Structure 1
Amino acid sequence: MKQSSNKKSREATAFLYERLSRDDNLEGESYSIGNQKKLLTKVAKEKGYTNLVHFLDDGISGVTMNRPGFVEMTQQLEQGKASAVFVKDLSRLGRNYIEVGRLTEEFFPDHDIRLVAVSDNIDTAEGENELAPIRNLFNEWYARDISKKRRISNKIKGNSGEPMGLPPYGYIKDPNNPKHWVIDEEAAQVVRRIFDMTLEGFGTEQIATQFEKEGILTPQTYWIQKGIGRPGKTKTRPATKWNGSTITHLLYQQEYCGDVLNFKTYSKSYKNKKRIHNDPENWVVFQNVHEPIIERAVFEQVQQKRGKMRKRRTSNGEHNMFSGLLVCADCGCNLHFHFNQGNPEIKYFNCSNYKGNRGTCQSTHYIRVDFLEEVVLGEIRRLTKFASLYEDDFLKAVIGHSQQADEADRKLKEKELKALLARDEELDGLFERIYEDN
């Protein structure tokens, strides 16, 4: 009896799926989520379904099939909770020819599910539609074409100096001109302090610890409280839990000098939305576009400090010659310089990512400075002895190393030249296409 009741409930249940992305916004109001709901509800009721369940994905491209609403709907279909699926057209299911084809040709028939695509006049209860595969192919071509046009448009915008990304922490979009950034003074004060503390010799973890003690909001929490929307998944962590990686990321933002850096990331294809870091030589940089938060000289000083040998110091200001040169053998994080609290004469390094000190590394990798000095001094003596006994071999090794460095520098310059020549040809092609389109 219970099984019969479940079967009746399934037969009366229809899933109504609505999807809208930026690409579909170009098609006009008829594609809005609200209008899709009205249309599908009306048609489903006319076809005799009384239990209607809506699933939607708003602002997600149809190229990817990993959409929250769509995934939840297919999971419930596998559990046998509905007998029909209604969509405005096949492109709502997706713009991936292979995946949508597998869905309509295998998944729905295997689970005895009726598919109704209203605008495409498809109803599997009335028989197969021979044009459905062709429609799926056209839907994917549409996504490919939109992606191609958007890439060309983005290249033109990016090469004209218009910021292609969102403003970093410390800036907001100008209310009067979204293409221009203005300083968000509250966040900018935190940014200036990060740079000042770095120049004073504090490490990223030390800065993060200090900010956490003072209750300063992390960038993600700050944006949420200010109502500033940012893409990506929101990580559940305390509002003031700063990480050293966040500090490092902010220290490398050249935008704080007032510059615009475009094409820092790219995607391989219109089907793969993952952003990949671009080589710096492929970036397009425009200087002094907006008001700077950090003076350029200060920014370059910090980059030089972090890019070469970063001298860390303790709370009383003492430096050590090994600071910034030692890394953890397990996690690769820097080893930080410390004093023994009970006996200040004992100086040592340990892993900055040690889990007992806010990190995740299992070992402290503790090493005393006096022992380290003995090891390094022993190596220097060994090398000096080798140079005195085998002067010719030593000179050959030094010269060989110098030649290798010169060769590496030459290859880097050749790579930069090839990239610039390729960019020149690409721009010529873009200008020709723009002229032909107009």
Structure 2
Amino acid sequence: MQSKQNNKDYIVGMYVRLSRDDERAGESLSIENQKAILSDYITEQGWTLYDTYVDDGISGTTFDRPGVKRLLDDAKQGVINTILVKDMSCFGRNYIMVGQYLDYVFPTFGIRFVALSDNIDTENKDTPAMDMMPITNVFNEWWAATTSKKLRAVRIKNAKEGKNGMSHPPYGYTIGTDEKRTLQVNEETAPVVKRIFELRASGLTPRKIADILNVEKVLTPNDYRISTTGINGVRNPSHLWHTAVLRTLLSNQAYIGNLVQHKSTTISYKNHKWHRRPEEEWIIIENAHEAIISKELWDKVKEVEKAVGHGKHTQRGFMHPLSGLMFCADCGAKMRLGWNM
């Protein structure tokens, strides 16, 4: 790349990124390798490094990244006047967003942008690399779309073959070390799972079950996970059992030995918002691992949940014992308490 030496002081924001997809390309794209290459270039040019901005494990198709957000904020505030990346794809794989920054935002704020491996430098516009920049942007996004499609196909294939793709196991299990990462019963927590199902089958509501577990100071699934792995899977945990946790647990087919995957997906390779798939699209492998509860107990719980109403509390917070349980003998509608004055 042709260097442009003048009397201007270049205050550099070094940006490095590596997504899980990029990791397969090996050490050449690693965070540390990017830092080393860019640091040497800054030294060669006599520039001043202000800070290094890092996004590790985040896709370039989104600009909702902590590192790139901080980089852009500093650029707009005038803290830095030069952005240096190893290549265009490190900055982003969304050609519309990348084009918006390079063509409008950076020129407006007087920001120089340099993508070292692509020979792109916005202060040297009359170069073949700059002429090819729009095509480079489109190609980078095409690569992201193609990779996303391939990875999705691999995940579906693995799910149909009974390979466990969970990042962490359901409460009551651990992940095995075999090729399929088969779920293994956790002897410490599996009895809690079985007891929850038995209590629900006896007619106790999730709220009542939660009260019992909280009184007995049984660790919640998230607290147990933190105590054993150090990984916190929930933001702002209450450290208490509550109905939402129990309803999720009571609906998890893993406890009868079924491996259920492909339940949710992102909207697209660029829109990473998750949405739930219709149940008929789920991939279910029956008897994929050892069950914690019997199919009879599972069916009993489903019968209870289908037959028993939840009832309603009065304005004073009291629930009548028969609330949600009484039905009209003529029309079959639920009966409710009323007062005749």
**Shared fold (TM-score, shorter chain, > 0.5):** yes
Are the equivalent residues in 2 in contact too, given 1:55–1:73 (CA < 8 A)?
Answer: yes
Aligned counterpart, 1:14: 12
Are the equivalent residues in 2 in contact too, given 1:11–1:82 (CA < 8 A)?
Answer: no
The CA RMSD measured in Å over matched residues stands at 2.6
C-alpha displacement at 1:169, in angstroms?
1.4
Deviates more, 1:169-178 or 1:152-161: 169-178
Which has the larger Rg?
Answer: 1
Q: Measure, in 2, the Cα distance between the counterparts of 1:371 and 1:125.
A: 74
User: What letter matches 1:141 in structure 2?
Assistant: W
Are the equivalent residues in 1 in contact too, given 2:50–2:80 (CA < 8 A)?
Answer: no
Q: Measure, in 2, the Cα distance between the counterparts of 1:269 and 1:283.
A: 18
C-alpha displacement at 1:150, in angstroms?
1.2
User: What letter matches 2:302 in structure 1?
Assistant: Q
Q: Measure, in 2, the Cα distance between the counterparts of 1:88 and 1:96.
A: 17
Q: Deviations over 1:27-47 (max 9, x none)?
A: 121110010111111112222
C-alpha displacement at 1:325, in angstroms?
5.1
Number of equivalent positions? 321
Normalising by structure 2, what TM-score? Answer: 0.86
SS in 2 for 1:179: coil
C-alpha displacement at 1:369, in angstroms?
6.6
Q: Measure, in 1, the Cα distance between the counterparts of 2:241 and 2:9.
A: 53
User: What letter matches 1:273 in structure 2?
Assistant: H
User: What letter matches 1:138 in structure 2?
Assistant: F
User: What letter matches 1:235 in structure 2?
Assistant: R
Q: Deviations over 1:7-66 (max 9, x none)?
A: xxx945211111111110121211100101111111122222223301111111111110
User: What letter matches 1:160 in structure 2?
Assistant: E
Q: 1:261 to 1:176 in 2, by over 3 A?
A: closer
Q: Measure, in 2, the Cα distance between the counterparts of 1:299 and 1:116.
A: 60
Aligned counterpart, 2:290: 291
Aligned counterpart, 1:96: 94
C-alpha displacement at 1:301, in angstroms?
1.2
Structure 1: segments with no counterpart, 5+ residues: 1-9, 311-323, 327-334, 336-348, 351-362, 384-438
User: What letter matches 1:162 in structure 2?
Assistant: K
Q: Which has the higher contact order (CA 8 A, sep 6+)?
A: 2
Q: Deviations over 1:263-294 (max 9, x none)?
A: 21223321122222112222222111111111
Aligned counterpart, 2:5: none
Q: 1:242 to 1:64 in 2, by over 3 A?
A: same
User: What letter matches 1:255 in structure 2?
Assistant: A
Aligned counterpart, 2:125: 127
Runs of 4+ in structure 1 over 3 Å off: 363-373
C-alpha displacement at 1:104, in angstroms?
1.0
C-alpha displacement at 1:214, in angstroms?
2.2
Mapped pair 1:256 → 2:258: no
User: What letter matches 1:269 in structure 2?
Assistant: S
User: What letter matches 2:303 in structure 1?
Assistant: Q
SS in 2 for 1:186: coil
Percent identity of the aligned residues? Answer: 35
C-alpha displacement at 1:155, in angstroms?
2.1
Q: 1:178 to 1:161 in 2, by over 3 A?
A: closer
Q: Measure, in 1, the Cα distance between the counterparts of 2:39 and 2:202.
A: 64
Q: 1:16 to 1:372 in 2, by over 3 A?
A: closer
Structure 2: segments with no counterpart, 5+ residues: 1-7, 334-341
